[in-house]
Amino acid sequence: MKRTNKYIWILVAAIWLVACRNEPDKTHYPNIILTGDAVKAIRAEQTDLPLLLHSIESLKKKTELAMLDGIDVPAPKDPAGGYTHKRHKQNYINMYGAGVLWQVTGEARFANYLRDMLIEYAAMYPKLEEHPVKASYAPGRLFWQQLNEAVWLVYVSQAYDCIAGILTPAQKDLIENQLLLPYANFLSIENPKVFNRVHNHGVWAAAAVGMAGFAMDNDELVNRAFNGVETGPKEDVGAGFLIQLSQLFSPDGYYTEGPYYQRYAMLPYLLFAQAIDNNRPEMKIFEYRDGILKKAALTTLQLTNTNGQFFPINDALKSMSYMSTSLVHAVDFVYGLDESQKELLGIAQEQGEVIICEAGLKVARAIAKGEAKPFKWESKEFRDGPDGNQGAFGVLRSNSGKQSQTLTMKYASQGMGHGHFDRLTIAFYDQGKEILQDYGAARYVNVEYKHGGRYLPENKTWARQTIAHNTLVVDKDSQSEGKVKVASSHHSEPWVFDASKEEVKVMSAKENKAYTGVQMQRTIAMLNLPEVSDDAIILDLYRVESYAKHKYHLPYYYMGQMMHTNVNYQAETSSLNAMGKNDGYQHLWHTGEGIMTEGTNRFVWLNNDRFYTLTTEAQTKDKLLFARIGAGDPEFSLRNEPAVIIERDKTDNTLFASTIEAHGNKHPVTELVNGLKGNVAGIKTLANNSEHTLVQLDMTNNNKVVFAICNNTNDQNAMHHLTVNGQDYSWTGAWQLFKK
Amino acid sequence: MKRTNKYIWILVAAIWLVACRNEPDKTHYPNIILTGDAVKAIRAEQTDLPLLLHSIESLKKKTELAMLDGIDVPAPKDPAGGYTHKRHKQNYINMYGAGVLWQVTGEARFANYLRDMLIEYAAMYPKLEEHPVKASYAPGRLFWQQLNEAVWLVYVSQAYDCIAGILTPAQKDLIENQLLLPYANFLSIENPKVFNRVHNHGVWAAAAVGMAGFAMDNDELVNRAFNGVETGPKEDVGAGFLIQLSQLFSPDGYYTEGPYYQRYAMLPYLLFAQAIDNNRPEMKIFEYRDGILKKAALTTLQLTNTNGQFFPINDALKSMSYMSTSLVHAVDFVYGLDESQKELLGIAQEQGEVIICEAGLKVARAIAKGEAKPFKWESKEFRDGPDGNQGAFGVLRSNSGKQSQTLTMKYASQGMGHGHFDRLTIAFYDQGKEILQDYGAARYVNVEYKHGGRYLPENKTWARQTIAHNTLVVDKDSQSEGKVKVASSHHSEPWVFDASKEEVKVMSAKENKAYTGVQMQRTIAMLNLPEVSDDAIILDLYRVESYAKHKYHLPYYYMGQMMHTNVNYQAETSSLNAMGKNDGYQHLWHTGEGIMTEGTNRFVWLNNDRFYTLTTEAQTKDKLLFARIGAGDPEFSLRNEPAVIIERDKTDNTLFASTIEAHGNKHPVTELVNGLKGNVAGIKTLANNSEHTLVQLDMTNNNKVVFAICNNTNDQNAMHHLTVNGQDYSWTGAWQLFKK
């Protein structure tokens, strides 16, 4: 629907004349994200800075293409995915692009396009009522929900900021008083509950209102963004941006929903903070709470597989990576604050673009000077919860480079509504590839065919269930009865995290509440033993204490093709059945099983031309189950990927002791095969009780190591001594590796 | 086992002294593949030619590493995969490397290493008898089969050629008369049947003997390679290299076993031909049979998906690509012959290495000068059979670049023992990715876990069967009763191949013998209609004539995740059964089915963030079956990939009319989705009889096209006229596209 009343066209003509007269250098410069100094420097230096030039050219290409399409500001009508929804999203992106390009190129066509569109919006906005799609707890006007409404204003504030200086007083009055100010009021004083909410919806709203305030030099709006709005005597907790900063990230910059959502939640924080830093530098917003925003940005970057994709814990789409716009902002803004962080430039190079502002300019300059260093992935524990005491997410890496081996363990809190019932789950990555996977979410975002792009029913029935993860399932039930409310009332307990030694990096955590009466502790030791292997050997000790006897299932969702096992198994060859009826088991086909022999059992698979071996110590009657995802899937929505499941029945206290290792390779073209066999020849528990667990690994090259972990104290100074089979083991601290 | 007798060590010492005295420039230059002129030029230019320098450095690194390991010439003992087998393979690679490096660097250590090893071999060889592993029809001495034996000599001849000039007469005498000459005799006069065989084993043997001849200036050996050896009155067909050149490739340079084996068979041809060209240029070997070797090399390059991997028809491993050493030789030697072929340089750049010889030098020079052009993939029909009259393999491409869409159809001969029962099968590729796959071979080469790396039992029971391919199965039986002998007695018949027009490229072929009493014709039209879509629309018309009624299955092995279908189907959610007991059906799980509605039916899937749609015209009672590979697989060796199968039962004459198209995308990071729906809204057969088939496509943008193919004449000048529903259709030639 194009609006064409007379009044508008007279205005447009007036603007055209004004715009054509204005040279860009004479204009008022913007001051929110893009600033005057940056504009001048960008104009002067862009041809010498390839990354910046490319970013400008790319923005130009996209914006010019959109401009060819003409201006369309349709009456709001459609839900997410529909035309009016998509169009208003596209419009804010185009307005932002046009604003930035007007500043950078000085070409009047960009300013004209932006102004024309703002005036169309100003003409329509006062007439709008609540969006006709009634599906949100917080409906917007342009969009079905206020979240999108806020995002629109975050971008449009920046766009307006870029042309405010060349508008006539009448135009400014129209755009500010008919559009931006009422729009900001709608998001704040008219919807205080969303605005004050400590939640990413609240952050977007605060950022939108605050940035609109800066764009219009309206201190009241800015202060509202800082402080929230009053809603009467019932509200006595604080609100606003500063509270958001205090509450939503842990002291390590970890966001409880996980990195997929953290990536999204980061953007309004970063944008508003940058705007604050540019306009109220005295607030030192980036130093707030011990530099929490910088920490959050760096944590998001660290929470990636070395191919750049975020660890897909909780509801997460696996393809999302640090190539996302949010992370381009994160990299640029953090580098803008601290130009010593040359490792960020390595990621900026991969991203292949910069934000067109002071920070992006700094990044482009440094890269042009050849200052980029490769990003360093760290072994680190990221504490969860506002005070950092609600469990953690642990990451061990064999080294800091792209080819490293990475093992993650989740021992955090539930992660709100997007959390999975997956306490103590692990995932393993080698050279940027998923080897033991976390399934992630069951969803095809924005693909209308698949339930309109929303979460699929299988997200609840499969992806969130415990059996969908590489962690223990007790009696085929999910943790916390599969109830978010129950799970949200407790969290796992970190026990040990020690990545200080190259040779052995250790993490251990306990989970005592997921299953009533069952106490679990999982310990991961990443062994880097050059005398044994160039690749890390992961020791995985899953200890259980229980008064009652249970059936335990410990699945490993290996990615790739099964190559070999020494377990005597029988595959199902003529018919398959689902493994159960509920708790996720209804989505697994039982493809075979075998009874393991007591002692060392091996399972070998091939993934992308490398071999991987799971070596596990079995007890009498333990079974190895073979499974494949895909049962109970009436719309063929699940990925049909395999797993092996260790089954130990009628057991109370026990230990699952296993190793996981990468070895050898198969060359795709020469077809040469090396290192077909792993380096662990045997695995044997020497002791496992409430005080200690000791496990011995016999290597194929005859090396032997014994790993010890303490189960009743993690005191770094406690001294331990025990004798097993006539051998003395003495050490200080929570764990030790003995070489024999 | 290291040999250390006194005699050897005295010789080694003598050589050491000689070698140290000799400056490389004073040596006799080699003349087989590497030549004197090339050596001089390489020494002079290498620092300016990055690709050449990299190739030398890389060879140096590998050879130095091997030299550190010392010389070991063990007594032959093991089969393929065992130590002595691998060691002798490694030894010839190391000797070749050392020889080339001695010439290029002039460093005596390389010459010494090579001579020491040759002398060890010379000391051992006369004592060898037939290899202890008795598993080949043609056992070797160093290796279990003569094929490896010949490959050894191909490399060692080149190595010897590099140091022959610095040997003392006594050393030459030892190496030639105790090793090379008896070795060449063993491969020829002592094993005439293999030597004379028109087969890749025979080619390797001829190349080995001929190249040894050139290395020792022994004309008798060279002539033996050209002419074969006499075996008595029974043999009256010719033998030797020239006959091999006449017989094994079709006039289009196509090798009947398919490109995976062609890649391997190419190498001895190329090497020996290059040696001939360097030593007997008057033979003009590269012009032999209208330049057959050049054609074969270029055909091998053309028989690739645009990611470089060979089309995996017949028994083929999918990872094999033009990165293979064979193809580095092919690219370099062909460019060496014809420096106008700048498109070859594009592949050489991808290969990242050159052969260290005159031809490789030319490639490196041209690339350093920036002359490389991207390789152009062509739409082409490759005729099969020595005379080119045994069917063909057809390839249609939407354009010549890496992002093109490619559709292949196999209507060739059986392809000997490695052939599949897959007449008229198609495969579809988009942007270098497999979209409708050919399964390839069931094998994990060199992976001992999987049947010693040999072909798996499932290669016969599954991979070779008709149902494993995207072609019609009649009554659930494989073509030609699944018998190689039967299938080898006939071949498909090319009908039309016309890639002359950008807008429509057409191929059509008939197969009348695969099923008794059933005549089949498949026609593919690749439509490039910019007014409808940027992507090609593939029209797939599978026509059947039969006196009796049959059950027809037409499978499409789509790669990716099912997104949508308008067929009302029921998925199997709690149990699965195999689809049959034989002919490959025992390897398919029946995962669901639906009865199609008469008219247009659609199946949409997602692969690597692009959407694909199969649109098919159904008749009443047609079914769409859903299947997944993996039943009857007791060792979990198959890849568990999906298919949809169109089932039409109790039918004689019929037409399966379908389109396949790529459309839209799903961005992995912005999560934006475009082009969710394909461009074909409807498909309808207007006529289908023994004379013509006419099919109409209704596009979503209201364009309509009608494609006509003639079934009883492919005369380019024949005129046709018919009226359907009151519409006149007139055209000249075998096919036509009408736009309405």
Write the DSSP string, A302-317.
Answer: HSB-TTSBBP--SS--
Q: Residues A234-257: what's their mean pLDDT?
A: 82
Question: pLDDT tens for residues B563-585?
Answer: 999 999 999 999 999 999 999 99
Q: B383 near B389, Cβ under 8 Å? A: yes
Whether A574 and B591 lie within 8 Å, measured CB to CB: no
Residue B602, H or E segment = strand B599-607
Nearest CA in chain B to A260: B669
B398/chain A closest Cα distance in angstroms: 26
Q: Between A and B, how many residue pairs show a Cβ–Cβ distance under 8 A?
A: 147
Residue A644 domain-assigned (yes or no): yes
> b/e map of B490-523 (b: 16 or more CB within 10 Å)?
bbbbbbbbbbeeeebbbbbbbbbbbbeebbbbbb
pLDDT reading at A511 higher than 60: yes
Least CB-CB distance to A676: which of B321, B449, B640? Answer: B449
Question: pLDDT tens for residues B374-429?
Answer: 999 999 999 999 999 999 999 999 999 999 999 999 999 999 989 999 999 999 99
Report how many domains make up chain B. 1
Query: pTM value?
Result: 0.93
Q: What is the ipTM of this complex?
A: 0.92
With contacts defined as CB-CB under 8 Å, which chain B residues touch A642? 640
Q: A586 near A461, Cβ under 8 Å? A: yes
A642 Cβ neighbours under 8 A, 6+ residues apart: A557, A558, A562, A591, A626, A627, A628, A629, B640
Q: Which of B201, B329, B418, B590 is catalytic?
A: B418
Helix (H, G, I), strand (E, B) or coil at A375: coil
Residue A557 CA to residue B171 CA, distance in Å, equals 61
B569/chain A closest Cα distance in angstroms: 9
Question: pLDDT tens for residues A611-647?
Answer: 999 999 999 999 999 999 999 999 999 999 999 999 9
Residue B276 CA to residue B282 CA, distance in Å, equals 9
- The mean pLDDT of chain A is 94
Tokens read off for A520: 């679990």
Whether A669 and B633 lie within 8 Å, measured CB to CB: no
Residue A543 CA to residue A657 CA, distance in Å, equals 8
Residue A504 domain-assigned (yes or no): yes
Residue carrying structure tokens 């080698």: A430
Whether B669 and A323 lie within 8 Å, measured CB to CB: yes
Instruction: For residue A202, give Cα distances in angstroms to A190, A243, B349, B626.
Output: 13, 10, 53, 46
* DSSP, res B702: S
Rounded to 10 deg, the angle between the A343-351 and A325-337 helix axes is 150
> pLDDT-based confidence at A9, cuts 50/70/90?
low
Residue A104 CA to residue A49 CA, distance in Å, equals 14
> b/e map of B661-675 (b: 16 or more CB within 10 Å)?
bbbbbbebbebebeb
> Residue ranges of the alpha helices (H) in A408-504?
457-458, 484-488
pLDDT of residue A246: 85
**Any idea what the CATH number is for the domain that residue B599 is in?**
2.70.98.70
Whether A575 and B571 lie within 8 Å, measured CB to CB: no
Residue A193 CA to residue B9 CA, distance in Å, equals 92
Q: A337 near A310, Cβ under 8 Å? A: no
Least CB-CB distance to B575: which of A577, A666, A670? Answer: A577
Whether A575 and B578 lie within 8 Å, measured CB to CB: yes
pLDDT of residue B238: 65
- Closest Cα partner for B275 from B181, B183, B161? B161
Q: Which of A85, A131, A329, A418 is catalytic?
A: A418
pLDDT of residue A240: 83
Whether A604 and B449 lie within 8 Å, measured CB to CB: yes
Strand partners for B613: B604, B661
pLDDT of residue B28: 73
Least CB-CB distance to A589: which of B447, B576, B666? Answer: B576
| Selected residue of A461, A561, A590, A625 to mutate for chain B interface (largest B Cβ count, 10 A) | A561
Whether A574 and B586 lie within 8 Å, measured CB to CB: yes
In percent, how much of chain A has pLDDT > 70?
A: 95
Rounded to 5 degrees, φ, ψ at A519 are -110, 130
Whether A676 and B574 lie within 8 Å, measured CB to CB: no
Residue B175 domain-assigned (yes or no): no
Q: B439 near B463, Cβ under 8 Å? A: yes
pLDDT of residue A81: 77
Nearest CA in chain A to B671: A445
Sheet containing strand B704-710, edge to edge, reads: B680-688, B692-699, B704-710, B735-739
Tell me, yes or no, if B418 is annotated catalytic. yes
pLDDT of residue B245: 86
- Closest Cα partner for B472 from B295, B717, B656, B247? B656
Question: pLDDT tens for residues A41-51?
Answer: 999 999 999 99
pLDDT of residue B26: 46
Helix (H, G, I), strand (E, B) or coil at B97: helix
Residue A733 domain-assigned (yes or no): yes
A58/chain B closest Cα distance in angstroms: 16
pLDDT of residue B197: 85
Helix (H, G, I), strand (E, B) or coil at A188: coil
- What is the number of alpha carbons within 13 Å of residue B236 lying toward its C-beta? 2
Domain limits at A675? Answer: 472-739
Residue B499 CA to residue B507 CA, distance in Å, equals 8
A319/chain B closest Cα distance in angstroms: 5
Average pLDDT per consecutive 10 residues, chain B (740 residues; last block may be shorter): 51 49 59 96 96 97 96 93 91 98 96 97 96 90 95 98 95 97 96 87 94 96 92 61 87 95 92 96 94 96 98 97 96 97 97 97 98 98 96 97 97 95 98 98 94 95 98 98 96 98 97 98 98 96 98 98 98 98 98 98 97 97 98 98 98 98 95 94 97 98 97 96 95 96
Least CB-CB distance to A449: which of B563, B574, B637? Answer: B563
- Closest Cα partner for B116 from B5, B7, B6, B11? B11
| Selected residue of B90, B351, B450, B561 to mutate for chain A interface (largest A Cβ count, 10 A) | B561
pLDDT reading at A20 higher than 50: no
Residue A421 domain-assigned (yes or no): no
Residue A272, H or E segment = helix A259-279
Least CB-CB distance to A575: which of B449, B577, B668? Answer: B577
Residue B553 domain-assigned (yes or no): yes
Residue A504 CA to residue A485 CA, distance in Å, equals 37
Whether B320 and A669 lie within 8 Å, measured CB to CB: yes
Strand partners for B239: none
Whether A573 and B606 lie within 8 Å, measured CB to CB: no
Whether B640 and A639 lie within 8 Å, measured CB to CB: no
- The mean pLDDT of chain B is 94
Q: Which of A155, A261, A335, A542 is catalytic?
A: A261
Q: How far is CA A300 from the centre of its chain?
A: 6
With contacts defined as CB-CB under 8 Å, which chain A residues touch B561? 636-637, 639
Least CB-CB distance to B673: which of A447, A639, A676? Answer: A447
Residue B380 CA to residue B397 CA, distance in Å, equals 9
Whether B319 and A668 lie within 8 Å, measured CB to CB: yes
Strand partners for A561: A606
Q: Residues A311-326: what's their mean pLDDT?
A: 97
Residue B319 domain-assigned (yes or no): no
> pLDDT-based confidence at A548, cuts 50/70/90?
very high
Q: A229 near A235, Cβ under 8 Å? A: no
Residue B457 CA to residue A450 CA, distance in Å, equals 39
Residue A264 domain-assigned (yes or no): no
Tell me, yes or no, if B261 is annotated catalytic. yes
Q: Which of B261, B322, B515, B556 is catalytic?
A: B261
Question: pLDDT tens for residues B357-368?
Answer: 999 999 999 999
